[in-house]
Amino acid sequence: MDLYEHRILIVDDEPALQKMVSDFLYKEGYRQVAVAGSCREARGAFEREHPHLILMDVMLPDGDGFGLLKELRQESEVPVIFLSARDEDENRLRGLGLGADDYITKPFLPRELILRISAVLKRVYRARDRQCDDVIWLGDCRIDLGSGVVYRQDPGGEEGVFDKTATQTALTAREYAILKKLAGNRGQIVTIDALCEAVWPEGNYGYENTLIVHIRRLREKLEQDPSRPRHLITARGLGYKLV
């Protein structure tokens, strides 16, 4: 299912915020956005629309979002992102273990909200984003994250054109995990700790040296000159960045 075909329900009692968020979602490409201003309206809209994702304010005029989620959880596993305006809500959210998929504190930047919504939809429904497929281009390198193969055009070949002469190198599982994490945050520094967490989620303390080894091997596969990397850049003392 296309990412933008998912139905989103916004539950917030502030009409200006409802309108703003739904406008941004429409602009982003989402076609089915419903709004509700209270728990009662939300229950009705949920029955009617069968949303794929609910964006819910914690404080509603006729109850609180946590109670409503508990109620909804009895009949549905629909992903919920909470919009909270109180710092205490974060603690409550953690403590309650309600199974909310994410939360965002007000005020927020619309881009951040849209990113979180699409991240949850992709994770839950494995939705395909038109704008982001599984292929990454890095100069004369094409990386197919679907198959975990790096295609590199030989120097001297026509740039951007891959023929049978392009060398193919397979990524190892660790290299694949590192590259996927970096590609997901392309242009941004990803800390050593976040990379270790992505590669060794079961406990990542003390893997920094191993990470450096994997990065070096990855550079050998991706970079024209691994000693002078152009795409997989080191942020000294912090982490790495894919540009």
Partner 1 sequence: MKRPFFYRKQVRFLSYSILVFVLAFWLTLLVNFFLLLVILLKYQEYQIEYIKGDAIMEELALTDRGYELSEDMGRKLDERKQWAMLLDGAGKMVWSYEKPKEIKESYTLSDMARMSRWYLEDYPVYLQVFEDQIMVTGLPRKSMWKYNIQFPMSWMNYMKRVWFWVLLFDFVWILVLAVIFTRRWSRSREKARIEWIAGISHDIRTPLSVVLGYADALFSSDLKEEQRQQAAVIRHQSLVMKELVEDLNLTSELEYSMQALRREPVCPAVVLREVAAAFLNDAREGELEVEMDIDRQAEGIWVSADRRLLVRALRNLFQNSLRHSGQKATRIRLSLCRERRFCRILFSDNGIGYSREMLRRLNVKKRQRPTQNIHGLGIVCKIIQAHGGKAVFGNCPGGGGVCKIRLWLARTPKSDRRGNQGEAD
| Interface contacts to partner 1, rule CB under 8 A | 12, 14, 16-17, 20-21, 24, 59, 85-88, 90-91, 105-111, 172-175, 188-194, 203, 205-210, 235-239
| For partner 1, the closer CB: 135 or 235 | 235
| For partner 1, the closer CB: 56 or 78 | 56
| For partner 1, the closer CB: 146 or 237 | 237
| For partner 1, the closer CB: 157 or 184 | 184
| For partner 1, the closer CB: 1 or 238 | 238
Return the number of other C-beta atoms located less than 10 Å from residue 91's C-beta.
10
| For partner 1, the closer CB: 32 or 105 | 105
Query: Closest approach of Cβ 5 to partner 1, in Å?
Result: 24
Distance CA 122, CA 120 (A): 5
Query: Closest approach of Cβ 157 to partner 1, in Å?
Result: 29
Query: Closest approach of Cβ 109 to partner 1, in Å?
Result: 5
| For partner 1, the closer CB: 17 or 183 | 17
Distance CA 53, CA 81 (A): 8
Query: Closest approach of Cβ 43 to partner 1, in Å?
Result: 22
Residues 188/205, Cβ–Cβ less than 8 Å = no
DSSP string covering the chain, please? -BGGGSEEEEE-S-HHHHHHHHHHHHHHT--EEEEESSHHHHHHHHHHH--SEEEEESEETTEEHHHHHHHHHTT----EEEEES-HHHHHHHHHHT----EEEESS--HHHHHHHHHHHHHHHH-PBBTTB-SEEEETTEEEETTTTEEEEPPTTSPTT---TTSEEEEPPHHHHHHHHHHHHTTTSEEEHHHHHHHH-TT--TT-HHHHHHHHHHHHHHH-SSTTS-SSEEEETTTEEEE-
Sign of torsion, CA 80 81 85 90? positive
Query: Closest approach of Cβ 161 to partner 1, in Å?
Result: 31
